[in-house]
Amino acid sequence: MRPPQSWRRARLTLAIAVVTAVAFLVIDVLNYEEWATIWGGFIPARLAFGQDEAWAPFWLTPLTATLVHADWLHLALNLLILIFCGRPTEAALGPWGLGILYLIGAYAAAGAQYALAPTAAIPMVGASGAISAVLGAYAILFGRNKVTLANQRLAMWLNALWLMAAWIVLQVIVGLTLAREGILIAVGAHAGGFVAGVLLANPLLLLRYRKA
């Protein structure tokens, strides 16, 4: 499948990018970074310790966390991947398909991070997990095999794993620049979101064209 050249079928991708950027800009201008990180970040330990009324509802934080970023570099990298992969993915799956993918990706990322560290008290912020789902779907729909194997399905999965590894490495590089601020990269969240995207790509494609 060849990625489309037009942006007309990528309006939801652009809308998500704009909302995410505006949310960061407002938080940055008002100097609410620390408050936003605690209020909207996904904190696994909150499930065990209960709800604090001063924070966003725990069940909603996988989504609110996508609107909070550590700094401009963190935001820029996420939006770059979202725009690059989101345009062709939305064109293939449609806006509803991309919306479902992004939503489930955010929760899959939070679920994976919780499974790895259920007592962690460090907030997880950023749209990386949800965007990882978009990247995973992109890998299945548009990825070119980097290896030559008789089994094309296996080759496709190896290519998807290669993209996931490259994405996580990029995030780790960004994480090294943020480490001085006490911000850690949630590798489990990236993997969880990516796997969700890989698994959802074909079902969402079939759902869109079920009546074709």
Q: How far is Cα 97 from Cα 95, in angstroms, rounded to an integer?
A: 5
> Mean pLDDT score of the chain, rounded to an integer?
83
Q: Dump pLDDT digits (tens) for 122-173.
A: 888 999 999 999 999 998 888 765 555 555 666 666 666 777 677 667 666 6
Write out the DSSP string of 100-154.
Answer: HHHHHHHHHHHHHHHHH-TT--SPB-SSHHHHHHHHHHHHHHHPPPSS--S-HHH
Copy the structure tokens of residue 181: 């601020």
Question: Is 117 a residue whose pLDDT tops 70?
Answer: yes
Find which of 70-74, 105-109, 169-173, 189-193 is predicted with most confidence, using mean pLDDT: 105-109
Q: Dump pLDDT digits (tens) for 12-26.
A: 999 999 999 999 999
Percentage helix, strand, coil, to 5, in the chain? 70, 0, 25
Confidence bin at 53 (pLDDT 50/70/90):
low
Lowest mean pLDDT among 28-32, 99-103, 177-181: 177-181
Beta bridge partners of 124: 42
Checking 75-78 for CB contacts under 8 A at 24+ apart, the result is 75/20, 75/21, 75/24, 77/170, 77/171, 77/174, 78/20, 78/126, 78/127, 78/128, 78/131
Between the CA of residue 121 and those of 37, 60, 63, 93, 147, what are the distances in Å? 12, 17, 18, 36, 41
Predicted TM-score (pTM) of this structure: 0.84
Q: Which has more confidence, 77 or 153?
A: 77
Q: Dump pLDDT digits (tens) for 165-194.
A: 776 676 666 656 555 555 556 777 888 898
